[in-house]
């Protein structure tokens, strides 16, 4: 915490020095949304390069003065929280003054900018994000406040903890981890008791694009157990992109790649080649939109796809057919095809990439 306080004091000192010299204060941070500042490394994923291009948030420029003020406001809130060892969610910060902040997304962006500027992970700033992910299966752990959580015995899933760094005493007999893209598929597998029928496993869903806590938990489980991690996504560009976020990280959070990415993640399904192999009916497939075509074209250009020739082949099948499929398309074969046939066969015969 002393490191965090010192980093904030240095920023404020810089502001004072500028004012003393009758100059307009400026905050400088790495430009975290620019692909030119990102390098791809097999063992880490997308990470920010040292000496990357910066952006300046000026206090004397109409376009950025408001952002400058909001950054100082949130820095002061963080400073107080670190000093008093209290925590707040991003929502708490937004609701402390909704008129001032204007929107939740403005607060989220500023907190990420501050984390990037100070080069300090967000959870060390005492800012927690509200969690949307769920976990179920063969896993027990103790939360920071001493609460014991058992994910095995419940028919309902457990919410991913909001302070993943604080959980300890993780125990599991799971043979693998299954990341499920969508909540509906996750609930279906839960109802079918999938995580205990095939072999003990841990199931996680970020319910779409994963939030930070879900990604941190996947990483923590990998560090703790070193067991295979498989993904079950829709066979569409959006699903592929979500899988890449778990495996390689995202451009906007590349400054935190070392804590967030799990490059060992495998693509289990739904593979574009599965659709033909399983003879999925054409009326269960969905034609591409222009947006899908653009997203797929941009994914194919990304640096990590070159290192994954088998993935590239699948994406080319998708691009050629211009058709996508949700995991639910498997129900056109039978209602429990996913948990009774598809997943057990894939896991038994190594049908992943």
**Catalytic residue IDs:** 95
End-to-end Cα separation, the chain, in angstroms: 42
Cα 166 to Cα 69: distance, rounded to the nearest angstrom: 32
Q: What angle do CA 291, 352, 327 make, to 5 degrees?
A: 45
Q: How far is CA 53 from the centre of its chain?
A: 24
Identify any residues that bridge with 231 across adjacent strands, giving them in sequence order.
179, 267
Q: Two tokens at 46?
A: 């997308």
Q: At how many degrees (to 10) do helices 104-118 and 2-20 cross?
A: 90
Q: Two tokens at 97?
A: 């003054």
């Amino acid at each position: 915490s002393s490191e965090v306080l010192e980093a904030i004091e240095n920023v404020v000192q810089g502001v004072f020095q500028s004012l003393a010299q009758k100059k307009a204060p400026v905050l400088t941070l790495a430009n975290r949304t620019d692909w030119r500042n990102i390098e791809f490394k097999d063992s880490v994923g997308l990470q920010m390069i040292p000496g990357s291009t910066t952006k300046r948030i000026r206090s004397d420029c109409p376009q950025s003065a408001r952002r400058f003020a909001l950054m100082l406001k949130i820095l002061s809130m963080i400073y107080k929280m670190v000093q008093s060892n209290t925590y707040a969610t991003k929502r708490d910060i937004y609701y402390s003054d909704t008129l001032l902040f204007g929107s939740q997304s403005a607060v989220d962006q500023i907190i990420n900018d501050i984390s990037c500027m100070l080069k300090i992970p967000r959870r060390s700033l005492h800012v927690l994000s509200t969690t949307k992910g769920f976990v179920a299966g063969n896993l027990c752990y103790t939360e920071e406040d001493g609460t014991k959580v058992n994910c095995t015995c419940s028919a309902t899933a457990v919410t991913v903890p909001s302070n993943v760094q604080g959980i300890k005493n993780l125990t599991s007999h799971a043979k693998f981890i299954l990341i499920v893209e969508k909540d509906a598929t996750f609930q279906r597998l839960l109802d079918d008791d999938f995580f205990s029928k095939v072999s003990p496993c841990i199931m996680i869903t970020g319910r779409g694009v994963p939030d930070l806590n879900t990604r941190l938990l996947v990483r923590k489980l990998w560090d703790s157990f070193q067991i295979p991690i498989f993904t079950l996504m829709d066979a569409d560009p959006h699903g592929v992109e979500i899988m890449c976020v778990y495996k390689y990280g995202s451009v906007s959070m590349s400054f935190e790649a070392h804590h967030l990415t799990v490059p060992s993640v495998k693509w289990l399904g739904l593979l574009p080649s599965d659709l033909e192999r399983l003879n999925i009916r054409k009326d269960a497939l969905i034609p591409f939109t222009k947006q899908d075509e653009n997203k797929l074209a941009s994914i194919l250009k990304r640096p990590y796809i070159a290192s994954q020739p088998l993935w590239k082949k699948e994406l080319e099948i998708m691009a050629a057919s211009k058709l996508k499929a949700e995991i639910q398309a498997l129900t056109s074969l039978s209602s429990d095809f996913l948990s009774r046939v598809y997943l057990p066969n894939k896991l038994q015969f190594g049908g992943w990439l």
